[in-house]
Structure 1
Amino acid sequence: MKHYFFTVISIITLTFFYNCSKSDNGLDNEDNSTPKEETEETFNYTSSAKYNLNIIYFVPKGSKNRKDSHRRLSEILLQGQEFYKKNMNDYGFGNKTFNLLVDTQKKRIKITYIDGELSASNYPYEGGGNKMITEIEAYYNANPDEKNSDHYLVLSPVSDPTTSDVPYYGLGKWCFASDFDDMDIKHLGTGTSLGTRATTYIGGLLHELGHGLNLPHNKEKVSDLSNSNKGTCLMGAGNYTYGSSPTFLSEASCSILNNNQVFNNSNDIFYTGATASIKNLQASFESNNIKISGTVETDVTVNSISIYNDPADDNADYDAVTWATKLEADNTFSISMPISELHKKENTEYVLRLLLNHTSGDITRISYAYKFVNGAPVIDFGEKDYFNKSKWVIESFSSEENSGQENTGLASAILDNNDETYWHSCWNGSCASANYPHSIAIDTGETITAEGFAFTQRKTLSRAIKDIEIFISDDNTTWSSLGNYTLQNVNTVQNIRLDNQASFRYFRIEAKSSYDGDRFAALAEVYCF
């Protein structure tokens, strides 16, 4: 396998790397005249930072590096640097942006050109990203000095981006986009078809880069749309506005980037696996504001919280409206969020996601559920006066997994008051084919009168249950249904209040569907209040 890349010390000319015709050479002159040979040693790439974004141009076997790619992509990413820097400055984070290895005199960035082992059809949108990652990691394992950080932007050459089937998304700290001959910042804002395409795909590149830099999707607040300094969030629909109408990064995004490895000049070790939790959470709806406050407990400093209000009426988070807040010296926080800034307020389920931003670049994600009813939010998350479960026992279950450590996998895990353990339907051995519906029944040991039930999904939200039905019984023989309910895909306790109080000794939870669409189910805890 051959690998093509720009470096300071090599003296091999680029014309030896590629066929020298103008259409094939990535360093053709803009006027399409005979290409000037630029030897690799003519570039002096430097950076004051230890960590710099890895930029890879991945060329499948038999494909062509698109014309003038080094110049065009250098200009695109240097402009992108300034865009990110302006937004960081606007929120008071200073002149911070993603670090690059740059030849400042020639205005070129370091791009590592790597030839793929297979043809382009072997790296499709579905699954192609992981295949590219395998080959790129093999290259960096063989050339460890070439790796500059834990973040990667991978570009694929295409002749027509509208019909191409290449990876175009984020995968953890990796992100993927495409490159084509007319993807050039000179077309931005021209009002032409080339301008529209440049906005879509240059904005798309910078949007996907955001994912590779740890950013979720989010939507602008209602007031941002009419603000000439804001407009559309890049991490929402910004790839349709970048360079042609106002586009910005939210404060929630910039708060995350503030701790990102490639946004800092520190020599510290990043992404150490920090953890955190929120104690004494208070939430309310007052004076047309959703108010939340609490205290953060953490093993690595948390300096800000990014808050995402995500309507749960779809499976995407493009419409999540965000806020951000810094922590006080005593690790407390509080924020008020006007509901006038939310786009959806009529009978809509919401997931409230709090991203606790550690100075190590790690992010702890904690989520809660609430809903709008007749234009007003119903805030019912947080702890209730739950019944003591010490005498509760599992009466029956459809299946359980007994290969886990401690209580994990067993039905009894939902009663141990430990949300790190969980019941899991059988996935190993002869019962591995167990499918929905899954069920589990509990004997409370006495007749209780409850106002509602509470559930905690598995911490990682893997195998999260979506639709359930609750049954109750006095004798474990005759059962009556209390109705069907939908659990939210959140990793904190969620309360379901009944229309009327119910008295019973036994109750049974029947899980009917999952969020991932697979046959397995998992649940960490169940309560009554």
Structure 2
Amino acid sequence: MKKCQLFFWMMILGVLVVACNNVVEDTGSKDVDIPPGETYTAQGKYHLNVVYFIPSDLDTLPLWHKRLSKITLYAQEFYLQSMKRYGFEKTFNLEVNDDNPEYIRIRCIRSDKSVTDLKTCGDITQEVRAYFKGNPAELNSNHFLVYIPQYDHSSAITGAAIEKMNASSDVYDCGMCVFGYDTETFDIRHIISDRARKRFLPYLGDLLQDLGSSFFLLPAAERASDPFYSIMGDNLSKFIGFGTTKGNPDSFRLSASDAMSLSEIQVFNDIDREYYQERPEVTVEKWDLEFRNDTVFVACEYRTPDEVVGIIIYNDLWRSYTGNIFTDEDHLSSTSLASARDAMPYLIEDYFIEQLDGDLYRASITFPWTDVPIAWIATKEAEIRARFIMKGGTFYPHTGDVNIKGDAAMRRSFSLDWSIGAKPDFSVPDRVVE
């Protein structure tokens, strides 16, 4: 009996020792955090300038370097995976710490202005630009990501600014993403927490979308046949009615035209060449539009002396929908980004472009009308327009231009009365968009 009791207590003691050892070992593994060293290695010749901007009456938040490094690395991986779906093994470059690759270089800029003097993205960009003008050796590219501690609980400065690096530049060649939602809870670990995930994702979604805008992507919606929402799209459902797309990285991604555009952007490349040098010259001479068998046939003839790597053809349905009303009251003259956010893009790659004579080219594409959401039936009017992706990272029209839809020749209006059970009535006015 005593031998049995002794054996029993020895077993209990052994279990406790093993359990204690496991607890100590597990806790130790979670607490290990190798601090970043002094040196960083750039992933390419050009890489994103990442900044933590602190107004004079605020201070850095706890663990800011660790948190924001992991957030930025997550964004980098998000773009990589989206690009890989279209055959591009690239994403934006960063400077990664040599001792601990979970840290990236983030320059902490402390302003001498208070939050009351810094109320807009423009105020922030001026301060950041002034810093790098005084420290040119620290400037790594034309693209910036600026984190800011959130001023208060009700609002934040956030968005994308497209500017010129030099006032004399012919091209808007500077893209800056300003993200003013940094708090102590802005942490990538919340993405795997069921309880915190729902509140965290909208902020992460804002960051990913504003980064896209700072990389010169234009607003565009997904098509009904797409298995995802567009990262640059509006709050429009693929099927019927309207739903939320922005702010949910679980369901949105880059489109093929986004990926082709980003493949030429400075910080997405290791190629040592000049970017954003000259405004491209493109003249659209002719549009051909035809509708048959529930399919739209589009052809565009244009002239350019510059190298085109792709053309985005937008089926821009005049149906921008915000706050339960249609907001595009005058699409013929509307040049706003908001009125373009519901356009559906179709990519024409360079090998589908036919050279007719000298600098005259013809590009053609077809798309099924089933790509059009049912909700569009309420308006019946639309336009076809183009955006040219040029070698070296410029576009025509370029982000930052007064009219991002292009001049009259770049746009062709049409109407389609397509009621269920009736023969579609497709018409192309003699006039182009004014």
The yes-or-no answer on 1:72 pairing with 2:50 is: no
After TM superposition, the score normalised by the length of structure 1 is 0.60
The yes-or-no answer on 1:326 pairing with 2:326 is: no
Assess if the C-alpha contact under 8 Å between 1:51 and 1:261 holds in 2. yes
Secondary structure (helix, strand or coil) at the match of 1:176 reads strand
The Cα shift of 1:349 comes to 2.9
Kindly tell me: are residues 379 and 153 of structure 1, through their superposed partners in 2, closer, same or farther at Cα, counting changes over 3 Å?
Answer: farther
Kindly tell me: are residues 32 and 319 of structure 1, through their superposed partners in 2, closer, same or farther at Cα, counting changes over 3 Å?
Answer: same
Kindly tell me: are residues 353 and 190 of structure 1, through their superposed partners in 2, closer, same or farther at Cα, counting changes over 3 Å?
Answer: farther
Assess if the C-alpha contact under 8 Å between 2:224 and 2:372 holds in 1. yes
Kindly tell me: are residues 329 and 88 of structure 1, through their superposed partners in 2, closer, same or farther at Cα, counting changes over 3 Å?
Answer: farther
The Cα shift of 1:279 comes to 3.1
Assess if the C-alpha contact under 8 Å between 2:43 and 2:96 holds in 1. no
> Paired residue for 2:240?
none
In the aligned structure 2, how far is the partner of 1:377 from the partner of 1:269? 49
Assess if the C-alpha contact under 8 Å between 1:256 and 1:306 holds in 2. no
The yes-or-no answer on 1:240 pairing with 2:216 is: no
> Paired residue for 1:183?
186
One-letter code aligned to 1:97 = T
> Paired residue for 1:353?
385
Assess if the C-alpha contact under 8 Å between 1:347 and 1:372 holds in 2. no
Kindly tell me: are residues 371 and 153 of structure 1, through their superposed partners in 2, closer, same or farther at Cα, counting changes over 3 Å?
Answer: farther
Secondary structure (helix, strand or coil) at the match of 1:340 reads helix
The yes-or-no answer on 1:372 pairing with 2:416 is: yes
- Count of residues in Structure 1 that have an aligned counterpart in Structure 2: 341
Which of 122, 130, 144 is matched with 1:130 structurally? 122
Kindly tell me: are residues 121 and 69 of structure 1, through their superposed partners in 2, closer, same or farther at Cα, counting changes over 3 Å?
Answer: same
Q: What are the Cα deviations for residues 423-458 of structure 1, in whole angstroms up to 9, with x where unaligned?
A: xxxxxxxxxxxxxxxxxxxxxxxxxxxxxxx4xxxx
Which of 211, 217, 220 is matched with 2:219 structurally? 217
Assess if the C-alpha contact under 8 Å between 1:232 and 1:246 holds in 2. yes
More strand by share: 1
The Cα shift of 1:68 comes to 1.5
> Paired residue for 1:117?
112
The Cα shift of 1:189 comes to 4.9
- My pick for the range that moved more, 366-375 or 176-185, is 366-375
Q: What are the Cα deviations for residues 174-213 of structure 1, in whole angstroms up to 9, with x where unaligned?
A: 2211211111221115332x21222111111111000000
In the aligned structure 1, how far is the partner of 2:116 from the partner of 2:367? 47
More helix by share: 2
- My pick for the range that moved more, 254-263 or 280-289, is 280-289
The Cα shift of 1:37 comes to 11
In the aligned structure 1, how far is the partner of 2:68 from the partner of 2:157? 18
The yes-or-no answer on 1:47 pairing with 2:50 is: no
Assess if the C-alpha contact under 8 Å between 1:370 and 1:380 holds in 2. yes
Kindly tell me: are residues 63 and 325 of structure 1, through their superposed partners in 2, closer, same or farther at Cα, counting changes over 3 Å?
Answer: same
> Paired residue for 2:262?
257
Give % identity: 26
Could you tell me which runs of 5 or more consecutive residues in structure 1 were left unpaired when the two chains were aligned.
Answer: 1-30, 385-453, 455-492, 496-529
- Spell out the pairing of 1:78-477 with structure 2 (5 A cutoff): 78-92=73-87, 94-103=88-97, 105-106=99-100, 107-124=102-119, 128-158=120-150, 163-172=154-163, 173-178=175-180, 179-192=182-195, 194-224=196-226, 227=227, 231-236=228-233, 238-242=245-249, 245-272=250-277, 273-313=279-319, 314-315=327-328, 316=338, 317-327=340-350, 328=353, 330=355, 331-343=361-373, 344-365=376-397, 366-375=410-419, 376=424, 378-380=426-428, 454=431
Kindly tell me: are residues 137 and 188 of structure 1, through their superposed partners in 2, closer, same or farther at Cα, counting changes over 3 Å?
Answer: same
In the aligned structure 2, how far is the partner of 1:165 from the partner of 1:114? 18
The Cα shift of 1:264 comes to 1.2
In the aligned structure 2, how far is the partner of 1:217 from the partner of 1:157? 27
In the aligned structure 1, how far is the partner of 2:109 from the partner of 2:80? 29
One-letter code aligned to 2:282 = A
In the aligned structure 2, how far is the partner of 1:305 from the partner of 1:76? 32
The Cα shift of 1:371 comes to 3.1
In the aligned structure 1, how far is the partner of 2:59 from the partner of 2:221? 37
Assess if the C-alpha contact under 8 Å between 1:51 and 1:148 holds in 2. yes
In the aligned structure 1, how far is the partner of 2:35 from the partner of 2:393? 38
In the aligned structure 2, how far is the partner of 1:369 from the partner of 1:292? 12
Kindly tell me: are residues 235 and 159 of structure 1, through their superposed partners in 2, closer, same or farther at Cα, counting changes over 3 Å?
Answer: same
One-letter code aligned to 2:39 = N
Kindly tell me: are residues 280 and 318 of structure 1, through their superposed partners in 2, closer, same or farther at Cα, counting changes over 3 Å?
Answer: closer
Superposed CA RMSD = 2.8
The Cα shift of 1:109 comes to 1.3
Q: What are the Cα deviations for residues 305-360 of structure 1, in whole angstroms up to 9, with x where unaligned?
A: 12222333435233222211112362432111212112223433324331100012
Assess if the C-alpha contact under 8 Å between 2:257 and 2:345 holds in 1. yes
Assess if the C-alpha contact under 8 Å between 1:252 and 1:307 holds in 2. no
In the aligned structure 1, how far is the partner of 2:383 from the partner of 2:191? 36
Kindly tell me: are residues 195 and 294 of structure 1, through their superposed partners in 2, closer, same or farther at Cα, counting changes over 3 Å?
Answer: same
In the aligned structure 1, how far is the partner of 2:310 from the partner of 2:110? 41
Secondary structure (helix, strand or coil) at the match of 1:75 reads helix
In the aligned structure 1, how far is the partner of 2:307 from the partner of 2:135? 34
One-letter code aligned to 2:121 = G
Q: What are the Cα deviations for residues 96-115 of structure 1, in whole angstroms up to 9, with x where unaligned?
A: 11111112651211112111
The Cα shift of 1:141 comes to 1.0
> Paired residue for 1:509?
none
The Cα shift of 1:131 comes to 1.4
Assess if the C-alpha contact under 8 Å between 2:411 and 2:433 holds in 1. no
In the aligned structure 1, how far is the partner of 2:393 from the partner of 2:307? 10
> Paired residue for 1:516?
none
One-letter code aligned to 1:100 = L
- Spell out the pairing of 1:489-508 with structure 2 (5 A cutoff): 493-494=432-433
The Cα shift of 1:363 comes to 0.7
